[in-house]
Structures are given as C-alpha cells and as structure tokens.
Amino acid sequence: MKEKVQTTLNEIRVALQQDGGDIDLVEVDEETGIVRVELQGACRGCPYSQLTLTGYVEKLLKERVPGVNQVINVNLEAMRTS
C-alpha cells in the first residue's frame, strides 16, 4: 500500500511544484487507511491547502489505492495539538 501511495504522490507532486509547493509522505497506517503527508513550500501556508488536500490529493489516493480512507496534513495536525 505504501508503495502505491508514494507512486501516486509522485504524480501529484508535479502539479504542486508548478505552483511552488510540494508534498512528502510521512506515514501510511494500513490498518486505518490514514495517510499522513506534509505540504511544503507555497502549499504549506496556502489558504487553499486543505481544499487541495481533500479535493485533489485525497480523492486521487482513494481512487488509485485501495484501503486509503483519509489523508491528513501533519502541518495542520501539529497546529491543532499545540
């Protein structure tokens, strides 16, 4: 599962890099289907980053990788817990 997630993220990365952003895979929890990623560059502080994450990244991962249930941006996750 992790390999398929990484392959899909590599394809997504090209589009994000065109806008000055990037995305890195942090963790794949195969039991829960939760994928944690870190948005970087322009994507990190972009007000539309959550929309990009759910409407683009999560949608594609769910379509292409069986078992993916949710994608979480660790940047936002860290802000919520601090």
Confidence of residue 17 (pLDDT cuts 50, 70, 90): very high
Kind and range of the H or E element at 73? Answer: strand 70-73
Q: Are 50 and 66 in contact (CB under 8 A)?
A: no
Average of pLDDT values for 18-29? 95
Q: Are 13 and 23 in contact (CB under 8 A)?
A: yes
Number of domains within the chain:
1
**The domain spanning residue 10 has which CATH number?**
3.30.300.130
- According to DSSP, the β-strands at 70-73 and 34-41 are parallel
Tokens 């992790």 correspond to 2
Question: Percent of the chain, pLDDT > 90?
Answer: 72
Looking at every residue in the chain, the average pLDDT score rounds to 90
Q: Which domain holds residue 56?
A: 2-81
